[in-house]
Structure 1
Amino acid sequence: MLIDYSIRSFEILERELSCSEKEEVFDVFFRMGVRMGLKNLPENYNSYKNTREIYLQQHLYFGTFTKDLFKQYQHHLGFFRYQLLLESQRLLVPKRVRKLLHLRSFSWLVPIISVYKFSRNFQLNDKIKSFILPAAYLKEIKSLDHIPA
């Protein structure tokens, strides 16, 4: 899931990744999994894609734990951020997951993301982030945007 979300979110916010870049994303997570001692990991990106597709078709269902998870999201995030989470999920999750979660295919985030991308040209993206993200974490979030020299 993290591999797929990482690739999808980058492509939504930035640009489409090449095959070699997707393989590089996979490799980072593969090495992390090896360090964690995980077993039976796919050896390469193509193998991962095949395994993920099988998993999506055979091992997912919408059960009581999923319902409870979304109730907890709603409770802890509040109305606005919970809606933002749902809209994000509409963009990120594969069709099968979207169907299981009863999410519509269109997200109102599409035009907002376009505005966000445009706002980066004028350094307005920090103002947008400060509106959306919790104030308690803004300093840490902003530090992620700065690449050390």
Structure 2
Amino acid sequence: MEFFVAQHSIVRKIWGKSDTILFIFAGAAAEFALNKAVDWLYFTGKLPSDPLGRLFSTVRYARMIVFAPKAEANKAIDTMRKIHSTVEENRGAVIPDWAYRDVLFMLIHYSISAYELLEEKLTEAEKEEVYNVFYRVGDRMGLKDLPQNYIEWLPVREAHLINDLQKSEYTADLFKQYKKHLGALRFMVLIEGQKLVCPNRVKTLLQFTRLSWLTIVVPIYKFSRQVKMDWLLKSILLPTDYKAQINELDVYKG
């Protein structure tokens, strides 16, 4: 059976662990809030009203693509495109192509940065593999002007960060919603985690301090995984309503 992502791919390892996925979406949550096209997420009202639910909805699609047979993965990608097309029809406008690319670029960047934070540095070949998977997702969605490889993508990513991000009223409101749904303690952890994976442009716009106290905590957490005690930290930090869903993300066995 042919899979969209090879069974021993580094991408499966990245997307097969709950803590890595949570850091991916912690970073994306910060960058989403700054994107000039974030008003599209407000049009449906789903993100501000239920940011955690939106997270797990997105995770389900991403994991379907990463772990499913190729035919099912392609079907998931087509469904995502159809959902966005319906939103466009309802609003009477078209989501800019650069906005689609921005989301794709976030998944590439944070897949790499989250894994390198919690596991180890990726080789250039592994980074290329990450890029190739999401390039094929974007190509299936019909996105234009995608760089052909990881090296060509790097300057394009930087250009997008400069041109497509701004701090706005949506930024402030989204972070307000994050705090409301997470609670003060978990929201503080979110901010500190974002500092560790977000690019400098994002941290500058959000006026993050240079240092994160999670820099000290991460090595302790990595050790706790080795002695099978990471469940204790997760039980303290993760929202009770979502613990079961988060635990289900730990499927990688390779």
- Please confirm whether the aligned pair reaches a TM-score higher than 0.5, indicating the same fold: yes
Paired residue type of 1:128: L
Q: Distance in 2 between matches of 1:53 and 1:129?
A: 33
What is the CA deviation profile of residues 19-42 of structure 1, one whole-angstrom value per residue up to 9, with x for unaligned ones?
Answer: 011111111111111222222222
- Could you tell me which residue of structure 2 aligns to residue 56 of structure 1? 161
1:15 equivalent to 2:120? Answer yes
Q: Distance in 1 between matches of 2:194 and 2:226?
A: 26
- Could you tell me which residue of structure 1 aligns to residue 192 of structure 2? 87
- Could you tell me which residue of structure 2 aligns to residue 96 of structure 1? 201
Q: CA deviation at 1:77?
A: 1.5
Q: Distance in 2 between matches of 1:61 and 1:140?
A: 32
1:141 equivalent to 2:239? Answer no
Moved over 4 A (4+): none
Q: Does the 8 Å CA contact 2:162/2:201 hold for their aligned counterparts?
A: yes
Q: Distance in 1 between matches of 2:207 and 2:143?
A: 32
- Could you tell me which residue of structure 2 aligns to residue 4 of structure 1? 109
**What is the aligned-residue RMSD (CA, Å)?**
1.6
Q: CA deviation at 1:2?
A: 1.5
- Could you tell me which residue of structure 1 aligns to residue 225 of structure 2? 120
Q: Does the 8 Å CA contact 2:167/2:205 hold for their aligned counterparts?
A: yes
Paired residue type of 2:241: A
Specify the SS of the correspondent of 1:105: coil
- Could you tell me which residue of structure 2 aligns to residue 105 of structure 1? 210
Q: Distance in 1 between matches of 2:185 and 2:117?
A: 21
Aligned residues with identical type, % of pairs:
46
The structure whose RCO (Cα within 8 Å, separation 6+) is larger is 2
Paired residue type of 1:72: Q
- Structure 1 alignment gaps of length 5 or more: none
Q: CA deviation at 1:59?
A: 2.8
Q: CA deviation at 1:86?
A: 0.7
* Count, aligned residues: 149
Question: CA 1:148–1:59 in structure 2 vs 1: closer, same or farther (change >3 Å)?
Answer: closer
- Could you tell me which residue of structure 2 aligns to residue 38 of structure 1? 143
Paired residue type of 2:233: I
- Structure 2 alignment gaps of length 5 or more: 1-105
Q: Distance in 2 between matches of 1:107 and 1:143?
A: 28
- Could you tell me which residue of structure 1 aligns to residue 22 of structure 2? none
